[in-house]
Amino acid sequence: MEVTVAIPTHKNDGKTIFFTLQALSKQTFSDFSLLIAYKPSENDHTLDVVEKFTKELDIKVLIQSEGYLDEAMNSIYSASKGDILITTDDDSVPSLNWVEAHVNAHEKHYDSGVLGPFSGLVRPSSFLRSIYGDIFEIPLESDMRTFNNYFSKTGLLVRNHSLPRENYKVKTFNPIGVNMSVKREVYSDFRLLPMTIRGINYEPYLCLHAYEKGLPCALINDNLSVEHFDRDSMSRPKTLNGVIERFAEASLSIYYLAKKGYTLDLRRLKMDLFFKSIPWRLRNNPLTKAQLQGIMTGIKISLYALKENKDEVWIRNTLKQIQGGKLDPIEIAGNFNA
């Protein structure tokens, strides 16, 4: 089995990626190639660190001249030759048998197109919460009810509150890119829409592609272990504007699904948002309020873009204005009357 490991990186001072490459150089399964999608930036020392590992690792650096994580991942999908493609971040430290565990997992789970780690049992939902899901969170396709989360007819990714608890393997639409592996049959013809800054929700879009190919994504209780440094990163912003923009990206699934030809129930979406936002609005926590603002902002951007036939470039530019504090997300509801 040919194996490719890939890391998208940007603005790394060399400290965290050193430990990432060090861990990869000590893997129990060493017969893999490494792709690094690298976008140069000021005070970035990625290439200095990469140079130290060229004798231990089969490394190819993909220089990214423009774009964000969407473009970085697309370059990885284009360049990878592996039967499986394993992805991680430039601030993670994989366990020493991490590559081997992913290889063994794909040999065992031949019917799964994407694999990630199963984090354990999920607290069961209340009866009323399950009933709410049956009314307002109807899946796009009926068999998505067998997944632990799914895209609903509202266009949003939601948790499945009716699924029996599993203790080993569960189908999902939401693994994590820092610790995920994909079969070639899935990634070879998949490309992301270049519409985000952080690449939020790229994993669910990949899993939707896998689902459409009959190779659904699954979380498994195997030893697929990585440690993660806690820093201000693309997926874990520390500023409130960053949090708003990050959660706005998560709601762009409405735009994405509509562009793929799925019919969405926007009336149900509005009712769903009304009820779900009530407890959020009663909280005084600034972080919680920023998350709610982000979700509502992403929905408004999606609906406006669909109504006015705006493209991915417009969406990304709007997100950049929010991130930079040049566009108040509270005003978006008034400006984007979709």
Q: What string of pLDDT tens digits covers the 338 residues of the chain?
A: 999 999 999 999 999 999 999 999 999 999 999 999 999 999 999 999 999 999 999 999 999 999 999 999 999 999 999 999 999 999 999 999 999 999 999 999 999 999 999 876 566 677 788 888 888 999 999 999 999 999 999 999 999 988 766 668 899 999 998 999 999 999 999 999 999 999 999 999 999 999 999 999 999 988 888 988 766 566 678 788 889 999 999 999 999 999 999 999 999 999 999 998 888 778 888 898 889 999 999 999 999 999 999 999 999 999 999 887 777 665 665 555 55
CA distance 168 to 86: 21
CA distance 217 to 9: 25
Task: Give the pLDDT score at 234.
Answer: 65
Element (H, E) at 261: none
Task: Give the pLDDT score at 232.
Answer: 55
CA distance 277 to 288: 11
pTM value is 0.93
β partners of residue 150: 158
CA distance 76 to 69: 10
Question: Which residue type is seen at 44?
Answer: D
Which two tokens mark 90? 């430039």
CA distance 277 to 251: 14
Task: Give the pLDDT score at 334.
Answer: 53
Asked whether the beta carbons of 55 and 184 are under 8 A apart, the reply is: no
Task: Give the pLDDT score at 165.
Answer: 64
The CA R_g of the chain, rounded to the nearest whole Å, is 20
Task: Give the pLDDT score at 129.
Answer: 82
Task: Give the pLDDT score at 336.
Answer: 56
Taking the CA atoms of 88, 94, 100 and 105 in sequence, report the sign of the dihedral they define: negative
CA distance 70 to 61: 17
Which two tokens mark 215? 């190779």
β partners of residue 115: 181, 218
In this structure, how many other beta carbons lie within 10 angstroms of the beta carbon of residue 66? 7
Task: Give the pLDDT score at 221.
Answer: 85
SS (H, E, C) 206-246: HHHHHHHCCCCEEEECCCCCEEECCCCCCCCCCCHHHHHHH
Task: Give the pLDDT score at 241.
Answer: 87
